[in-house]
Structure 1
Amino acid sequence: MDRKTIVISAVNLVEAGPLAILRECLSYLSLLAGEANYRVVAIVYKKELADYPHIEYIETQWPKKRWINRLWYEYVSLGRISEDLSPVQLWLSLHDTTPSVKAHFRAVYCHNAFSFYRWRFHDLLFAPKIALFALFTKYIYATNIKKNNFLIVQQEWFKKGMSSMFGLDPELIIVSPPQVKPFVHGIIGANNGRSGKYTFLFAGSPNSHKNFEVICRAAAILEKAGVHDFTVRITVKGTENRYAKWLYRHWGHLNTIDFIGFVSRRRLEDLYQESNCLIFPSKVETWGLPISEFASLQKPMLLASLPYAEETAGGSRFVAFFDPDCAEVLASQMRKLVMGDISFLKPVPQPAYNEPTATSWCELFSLLLTGDKSVHSTNKGIYDN
């Protein structure tokens, strides 16, 4: 019996969370290919980024050079590759776009939430690419999207948003939350900071949508009010880009802000243990991994009052939300924690997911490869006639 072919296209995944998704996916498929009758082909930037046994690799760095190259590769070159690999049982695109390919089943993993981001002039000034993503992500998603048999997202709010934006049947959008490894539990209210001061932490890349400035403004408010017995560690050095330089120029003088710069994964785990409270003010995320990681420590978290944060924090016990544009509210919450008041922190209920859902790669590929027979009875996509 001939092996069925699964193709994973992920040429644009080279770092951070998206690369982690690629590695997890290929790690599972490596086992599947070794045990079952499947041939797995991965189209990647470099094999060394996610090298697993029983996987065939096609490396290509050309699409990363220019956007026009990327578009040509997605909508022309991958089509030719699909013909060369034919017949393809499943083609899964892990990077938002739906390439023009021939496959029995097709699916796309959507992890870019910028189509729901309300960008500002601030973003044009410091990170014009962010504003462009917010403007054009919708159109990038839209191309070929209805030719997929399934879409994959990480959260229910994103599922509802994609269904509404593109007129998609929600029963064909799979919610597959990431699996997060917990840390050793901490103690609520304990001060683990080395300085003896109450320690806040925000770990994120120095990009404008991460909204570091609301933390800086809150710290400035507290210092002006005479509250100094705390430290806020942020993973910005102040030299990385225009936004980071702006942050340091305006708030680098504050005694309570510690510009620690980029930290390794091991150091970040130490910072989680040392810190009393996580602040997460980002204005757009697909998940918000630090929230999940820090939640396992059972310590306070102050989070942006946005759908992604409310879902990610589900099941956490000590949480307060704040308007990500209101430094005054954040400052008030920080002050209460510094003074030992945790009465305003509340538990967050677990989110309710509507089917279909997948809590592991095994469950996900069972849906993608077998799924609803009424959907998979033909070669056609969701809305093809």
Structure 2
Amino acid sequence: MRIVVNNIAASQTGALTILKSFYDYVDCYEKEHEWIFLLGAPYLEEKEHIKVEVLEKVKRNWLNRLTFDLWNGKNYIKKWNPDVVFSLQNTITFGYKGRQIVYVHQPLGFQKVKKFSFLKKKEREYAVYQYLIGSLINASIKRADKTIVQTKWMRDAILDKTGMDHEKIVNILPDIEDKYCPKEEEEEAFDNHLFFFPSGDILYKNHETVVKACQILNKKGYKDFQVLFTLKDLKSVTDISYDSGHGNIVCAGKLMPEELFSFYRKGTLIFPSYIETLGLPLIEGKMAGSMILASHCPFCLEILEGYENVKYFEPFDQETLAAYMEDIMTGRLKRKKSKAENRGKDKSSWFYVVKELM
């Protein structure tokens, strides 16, 4: 078979991770097929069974990208005469009459927690994704031969919004690298005054609720605790000025995977995000047996179903979050000893994705 993989949009960490993970899989295990990757930059290496086409002009700006997706792209893809087109960028190529399958991992248009505003500068980009790009994603799902998502909540949300047939929306949980996950014999002492939240500077990650919870704890006299963010500074995520004078919040910047798993083992993961497709730290924390304080949102409930070391709070309820942090620090809430979860599979999740393409 000849498969065109369209991911011209990929440029940021999450999208590139998905792209490279899929590329690595087909490079190793799908050599009997011909793969043509359409990219915006030369991220991948060509192989005997893999061709890489870089369309820099298409990637250059939104107008070029929309022009390609809505009008010109169909003719470009048609010349390759593919058996199927697989889009890793949430949208199909409109007007192309051949078989198309779309991988949807953009949740903004399907969540109901937050309505972003075009009038607020910090929310404008999110509003574009929620309403404008969200409309293109909806239209793509309705026209695609099949849609693949990562979680059940996304599948249910798409079915609810689009009214599509159930068999056209497939849920395949992605692979999670576990080489840094502790072995059963490895154990680090639990520090009940250490909390952390690994996340980029994205508005809906909701760092502000954690900052407000820290302020509450400071007012109650708590000084000897630390919350670690993987940010450069707080200014990128909140307008709140915070300086307790005790170093309670530390912006450590990006951490290496082995450092992250060390924190999962010895500290408490706070996960206040109210919009996620998957929530990777939840899976990693669960694998490591972490104590977790998570937002009461569908993706958290799905990923952490049946997990003992978790307490939930409403995403904008800093009082409840502060109360749980206090309970952990005072020992009223203890981490239960649990085996690190092994998510090993006989086959990669990409095996099941490729199966849908055939």
Q: 2:196 — aligned with what?
A: 201
Q: Does residue 236 in structure 1 map to residue 240 in structure 2?
A: no
Q: Which residue of structure 1 aligns with residue 107 of structure 2?
A: 113
1:26 Cα offset (Å): 1.5
Q: Post-superposition shift, 1:221?
A: 0.5
Alignment of 1:45-60 (within 5 A): 45-47=40-42, 49-51=43-45, 53=47, 54-60=49-55
CA distance in 1, matches of 2:253, 2:118: 22
Q: 1:19 aligns with which of 16, 19, 26?
A: 16
* 1:213 aligned residue: 208
Q: Aligned-pair distance for 1:180?
A: 1.1
Kept in 1: contact 2:197–2:228 (CA 8 A) = yes
- The CA distance in 2 between the partners of 1:343 and 1:70, in whole Å, is 51
Question: CA–CA distance in 2 between the matches of 1:15 and 1:103?
Answer: 30
Question: Does residue 253 of structure 2 align to residue 261 of structure 1?
Answer: yes
Q: Choose which of 270, 295, 311 in structure 2 pairs with 1:279.
A: 270
Q: How is 1:143-162 mapped onto 2 (pairs within 5 angstroms)?
A: 143-162=139-158
Q: CA deviation at 1:55?
A: 0.8
Partner of 2:344: none
TM-aligned CA deviation for residue 109 of structure 1: 0.6
User: Equivalences for 1:88-127 in 2 at 5 Å?
Assistant: 88-100=82-94, 102=96, 104-115=98-109, 116-117=111-112, 118-120=114-116, 124-127=120-123
Quote the offset at 1:72 in angstroms.
0.7
C-alpha offsets along residues 55-107 of structure 1, whole Å, 9 cap, x if unaligned?
10110122333211110111233212222111x11111001111126464211
Q: Tell me how far 1:163 sits from its aligned partner.
A: 1.1
Q: Distance in 1 between matches of 2:228 and 2:118?
A: 23
Deviation per residue, 1:150-177 (Å, 9 max, x gap): 1011111111111121111121111011
* Percent identity of paired positions between Structure 1 and Structure 2: 23
Q: Is the alpha carbon distance of 1:253 and 1:229 closer, same or farther for their aligned partners in structure 2, counting shifts above 3 Å?
A: closer
Contact 1:113/1:285 (CA < 8 Å) preserved in 2? Answer: yes
Of residues 151, 168, 175, the one that matches 1:172 is 168
Query: Residues 298 and 316 of structure 1 are in contact (CA less than 8 Å); yes or no, is this contact kept in structure 2?
Result: no
Q: Equivalents in 1 of 2:18, 2:324: separation in Å? A: 34
Gaps of 5+ in 1: 351-357, 370-385
Q: Displacement of 1:236 after TM fit?
A: 2.1
Q: Following the alignment from structure 2 to structure 1, what is the Cα–Cα distance between the partners of residues 243 and 203? A: 17
Q: Is the 8 A contact 2:117 2:123 kept in 1?
A: no
1:282 is paired with a residue of what secondary structure? coil
| Displacement after TM superposition at 1:254 (Å) | 5.3
Q: 1:98 to 1:345 in 2, by over 3 A?
A: farther
Please, which of 325, 348, 354 is the counterpart of residue 316 of structure 2?
325
1:173–1:120 distance in 2 versus 1, CA, 3 Å: closer
Determine if contact 2:264/2:290 at 8 Å carries over to the other structure. Answer: no
Structure 2 portions without partners, runs of 5+:
342-346
1:74 aligns with 2:72: no
Query: Does the 8 Å CA contact 2:7/2:37 hold for their aligned counterparts?
Result: yes
Note the aligned Cα RMSD (angstroms): 2.8
Aligned equivalents of 2:184 and 2:207: distance in 1? 25
Find the aligned partners of 2:128 and 2:184 in 1 and give their Cα distance. Answer: 41
Matches within 5 A, 1:297-308: 297-308=288-299
Is 1:220–1:254's contact at 8 Å kept on the other side of the alignment?
Answer: no
Report deviation, 1:368.
2.4
In 2, the alpha carbon distance for the partners of 1:313 and 1:50 equals: 34
Higher relative contact order (CA 8 A, sep 6+): 1
Are the structure 2 counterparts of residues 163 and 345 from structure 1 closer, same or farther at C-alpha, using a change threshold of 3 Å?
Answer: farther
The one of 4, 7, 20 aligned to 2:4 = 7
Distance 1:344 1:29, change over 3 A: closer
2:182 counterpart (181, 184, 189): 184
The residue identity in structure 2 corresponding to 1:106 is Q
Distance 1:154 1:228, change over 3 A: same
Worse overlay, 303-312 or 92-101: 92-101
**Secondary structure at 2:120 match in 1:** helix
Distance 1:129 1:303, change over 3 A: same
> Given the two structures, how large is their TM-score scaled by the length of structure 2?
0.87
Q: Does 1:129 align with 2:132?
A: no
Q: In structure 1, what is the Cα distance between the partners aligned to 2:124 and 2:307?
A: 35
1:196-231 CA distances to partner (integer Å, 9 max, x unpaired)? x62100011112111001001111101110122311
Q: Distance in 2 between matches of 1:132 and 1:362?
A: 33
CA distance in 1, matches of 2:52, 2:5: 10
Q: Show the counterpart of 2:354.
A: 365
C-alpha distance after superposition, 1:293-338 (max 9, x if no partner): 1211112000010001111223533111100110000000011111
Residue aligned with 2:10, SS: coil
